[in-house]
Chain A
Amino acid sequence: MIKITNLEKTYRTEDVETTVLHELNLQVQEGEFVAVMGPSGCGKSTLLNILGLLDDPDAGSFVFDGKETVGYSERRRAELRKHAIGFVFQSFNLIDELTVYENVELPLVYTGVPAAERKQRVKEVLDKMRIMHRRNHYPQQLSGGQQQRVAVARAVVNRPRLILADEPTGNLDSSNGNEVMDLLSELNEQGTTIVMVTHSEHDARYSHRIVRMLDGQTVAENILT
Chain B
Amino acid sequence: MLRHYLTVTVRNLLKHKLIAGINLFGLTTGLTCCLLILAYILHETSYDRRVPEAERIYRVTRDFYNPDGAATLQLSAVAPVVGPLLKNDFPQIEKITRLLLFSPVVVRHADRILTEDSLMFSEPAFLDMFAVRMLSGDARTALSEPNSLILEQSAARKYFGDQDPMNQELKLDGRIACKVTGVYQGLPENSHLHPAVLVSFSTLNDSTVYGERNLRTSWSNNAFHTYLQLPAGYDARQLEAQFPAFLDRHQPQNKRATDYVRPSKMTALQLQRLTDVHLHSNRADELEPNGDVNRVYIFGIIALFVLLIACINYMNLSTARAALRAKEVGVRKVVGAQRSEIILQFLGESVLITAVATGLAVGCTVLALPWLSRLAGTALPPQLLWQPAVLLGLLVLPLVVGVVSGLYPALFMSSFQPQQILKGFTKISGGLAFRRVLVVVQFVVSIGLLVSTAVVGLQLRYLRQAPLGYDRAQIVTLAYPLPLRPQYEAFGQALQQQAGVQALARSSRIPTGRLLDASDAAAGIGDSLRPTSANVKYLGIDEGFLPTYGIKLAAGRNFDPKAFPTDTLGFILNATAVRMIGWKSPAEAVGQAFRYGGVLGRVLGVTQDYHFESLHQPIVPMVMFLSSATSRSSYNYVSVKLAGGNVAGSLQHLERTWKEFLPDEPFTYTFLDESYAKLYQAELRQTLLFSIFAGIAILIACLGLFGLSSFAITQRVKEIGIRKVLGASTSTIVMLLSSDFMKLVLVAALLAFPLSWYVMHRWLQDFAYRINMPWWVFPLAGLAAAGVALATIVSQTVSVARANPVKSLRTE
Contacting pair B335 A107 (CB below 8 A): yes
A99 to B, closest residue via Cβ: B7
Interface residues of B in 321-363 (CB under 8 A from A): 327-328, 330-339, 341
B340 to A, closest residue via Cβ: A75
Bound Cα distance from A74 to B7, whole angstroms: 27
Q: A94 at the A/B interface (Cβ < 8 Å)? A: yes
Q: A181 at the A/B interface (Cβ < 8 Å)? A: no
B10 to A, closest residue via Cβ: A97
Known: A54-B418, A55-B419. A154 touches B336 (CB 8 A): no
1/0 per residue, CB under 8 A from B, across A102-121: the answer is 10011101110000000000
Across the interface, which residues of A come within 8 angstroms of B327, CB to CB?
A: 93, 95-96
Contacting pair A106 B335 (CB below 8 A): yes
Q: A81 at the A/B interface (Cβ < 8 Å)? A: yes
Shortest Cβ distance from residue A162 to the other chain B in the assembled complex, whole angstroms: 13
Bound Cα distance from A93 to B328, whole angstroms: 8
Q: B11 at the A/B interface (Cβ < 8 Å)? A: yes
Shortest Cβ distance from residue A101 to the other chain B in the assembled complex, whole angstroms: 11
1/0 per residue, CB under 8 A from A, across B391-428: the answer is 00000000000000000000000000111001110000
Contacting pair B419 A49 (CB below 8 A): yes
Contacting pair B11 A87 (CB below 8 A): no
Across the interface, which residues of A come within 8 angstroms of B336, CB to CB?
A: 78-79, 81-83, 107, 110-111
Contacting pair A95 B334 (CB below 8 A): no
Q: A89 at the A/B interface (Cβ < 8 Å)? A: yes
Contacting pair B419 A95 (CB below 8 A): no
Contacting pair B334 A52 (CB below 8 A): yes
Across the interface, which residues of B come within 8 angstroms of A97, CB to CB?
A: 8, 11-12, 15, 328
Contacting pair B334 A110 (CB below 8 A): no
Contacting pair A109 B331 (CB below 8 A): no
Q: A70 at the A/B interface (Cβ < 8 Å)? A: no
Across the interface, which residues of A come within 8 angstroms of B4, CB to CB?
A: 102, 105-106, 109
Across the interface, which residues of B come within 8 angstroms of A79, CB to CB?
A: 336, 338
Bound Cα distance from A81 to B335, whole angstroms: 7
Contacting pair A102 B7 (CB below 8 A): yes
Q: B433 at the A/B interface (Cβ < 8 Å)? A: no
Q: B563 at the A/B interface (Cβ < 8 Å)? A: no
Contacting pair A93 B330 (CB below 8 A): yes
Across the interface, which residues of B come within 8 angstroms of A81, CB to CB?
A: 334-336
Q: A2 at the A/B interface (Cβ < 8 Å)? A: no
Which of A91, A93, A107 lies at the interface centre, i.e. has the most chain B CB atoms within 10 A of its CB? Answer: A93
Across the interface, which residues of A come within 8 angstroms of B422, CB to CB?
A: 89, 91, 93
Bound Cα distance from A78 to B336, whole angstroms: 5
Bound Cα distance from A201 to B548, whole angstroms: 111
Q: B648 at the A/B interface (Cβ < 8 Å)? A: no
Across the interface, which residues of B come within 8 angstroms of A98, CB to CB?
A: 7-8, 11
Interface residues of B in 294-335 (CB under 8 A from A): 327-328, 330-335
Bound Cα distance from A96 to B327, whole angstroms: 9
Across the interface, which residues of A come within 8 angstroms of B341, CB to CB?
A: 110
A side interface size, CB within 8 A: 30
Contacting pair A87 B15 (CB below 8 A): no
Contacting pair A110 B328 (CB below 8 A): no
Bound Cα distance from A158 to B336, whole angstroms: 11
Bound Cα distance from A49 to B330, whole angstroms: 13
Across the interface, which residues of A come within 8 angstroms of B419, CB to CB?
A: 45, 49, 54-55
Interface residues of A in 72-88 (CB under 8 A from B): 74-75, 78-79, 81-83, 87
B339 to A, closest residue via Cβ: A74
Which of A79, A97, A102 lies at the interface centre, i.e. has the most chain B CB atoms within 10 A of its CB? Answer: A97
Set B334, B337, B424: member contacting A87, Cβ < 8 A: B334
Bound Cα distance from A98 to B15, whole angstroms: 12
Known: A97-B11, A102-B4. A75 touches B328 (CB 8 A): no
Bound Cα distance from A83 to B336, whole angstroms: 8
Set A55, A75, A94: member contacting B331, Cβ < 8 A: A94
Bound Cα distance from A110 to B339, whole angstroms: 12
Q: B257 at the A/B interface (Cβ < 8 Å)? A: no
Contacting pair A45 B423 (CB below 8 A): yes
Contacting pair B332 A106 (CB below 8 A): yes
Q: B1 at the A/B interface (Cβ < 8 Å)? A: yes
Set A49, A78, A109: member contacting B338, Cβ < 8 A: A78
Set A94, A109, A158: member contacting B1, Cβ < 8 A: A109
Which of B12, B330, B419 lies at the interface centre, i.e. has the most chain A CB atoms within 10 A of its CB? Answer: B419
A49 to B, closest residue via Cβ: B419
1/0 per residue, CB under 8 A from B, across A24-53: the answer is 000000000000000000000100010010
Contacting pair A110 B8 (CB below 8 A): no
1/0 per residue, CB under 8 A from A, across B739-779: the answer is 00000000000000000000000000000000000000000
Bound Cα distance from A107 to B333, whole angstroms: 10
Which of B4, B336, B417 lies at the interface centre, i.e. has the most chain A CB atoms within 10 A of its CB? Answer: B336
Contacting pair B333 A78 (CB below 8 A): yes
Shortest Cβ distance from residue A89 to the other chain B in the assembled complex, whole angstroms: 6
Shortest Cβ distance from residue A154 to the other chain B in the assembled complex, whole angstroms: 7
B337 to A, closest residue via Cβ: A110
Bound Cα distance from A97 to B8, whole angstroms: 6
Bound Cα distance from A75 to B9, whole angstroms: 25
Bound Cα distance from A93 to B339, whole angstroms: 19
Contacting pair B334 A54 (CB below 8 A): yes
Across the interface, which residues of A come within 8 angstroms of B339, CB to CB?
A: 74-75, 78
Across the interface, which residues of A come within 8 angstroms of B15, CB to CB?
A: 97
Shortest Cβ distance from residue B388 to the other chain A in the assembled complex, whole angstroms: 37
Across the interface, which residues of B come within 8 angstroms of A78, CB to CB?
A: 333, 336-339
Across the interface, which residues of B come within 8 angstroms of A109, CB to CB?
A: 1, 4
Shortest Cβ distance from residue B413 to the other chain A in the assembled complex, whole angstroms: 14
A79 to B, closest residue via Cβ: B336
Across the interface, which residues of A come within 8 angstroms of B338, CB to CB?
A: 74-75, 78-79
Contacting pair A82 B8 (CB below 8 A): no
Bound Cα distance from A97 to B10, whole angstroms: 10
Interface residues of B in 524-567 (CB under 8 A from A): none
Bound Cα distance from A190 to B132, whole angstroms: 88
Across the interface, which residues of B come within 8 angstroms of A74, CB to CB?
A: 338-339
Which of B4, B335, B424 lies at the interface centre, i.e. has the most chain A CB atoms within 10 A of its CB? Answer: B335
Shortest Cβ distance from residue A46 to the other chain B in the assembled complex, whole angstroms: 8
A46 to B, closest residue via Cβ: B419
Bound Cα distance from A49 to B1, whole angstroms: 27
Bound Cα distance from A85 to B4, whole angstroms: 22
Across the interface, which residues of A come within 8 angstroms of B335, CB to CB?
A: 81-82, 87, 106-107, 110, 154, 158
Bound Cα distance from A75 to B333, whole angstroms: 11
Across the interface, which residues of A come within 8 angstroms of B332, CB to CB?
A: 95, 106, 110
Shortest Cβ distance from residue A164 to the other chain B in the assembled complex, whole angstroms: 10
Contacting pair B7 A95 (CB below 8 A): no
| Seed contacts A75-B338, A75-B339, A95-B327; 12 additional CB < 8 Å A-B pairs | A45-B419, A49-B419, A78-B333, A78-B338, A81-B334, A87-B334, A93-B327, A93-B330, A109-B1, A110-B332, A110-B336, A154-B335
Q: List 23 A-B contacts (CB under 8 A).
A: A45-B419, A54-B333, A54-B334, A74-B339, A78-B333, A78-B336, A78-B337, A78-B339, A79-B336, A82-B336, A91-B424, A95-B327, A95-B332, A97-B8, A97-B11, A97-B12, A97-B328, A98-B8, A106-B4, A106-B332, A107-B336, A110-B337, A110-B341
Q: List the 7 closest A-B pairs by CB distance, nearest first.
A: A82-B336, A107-B335, A97-B11, A49-B419, A54-B419, A110-B336, A81-B336
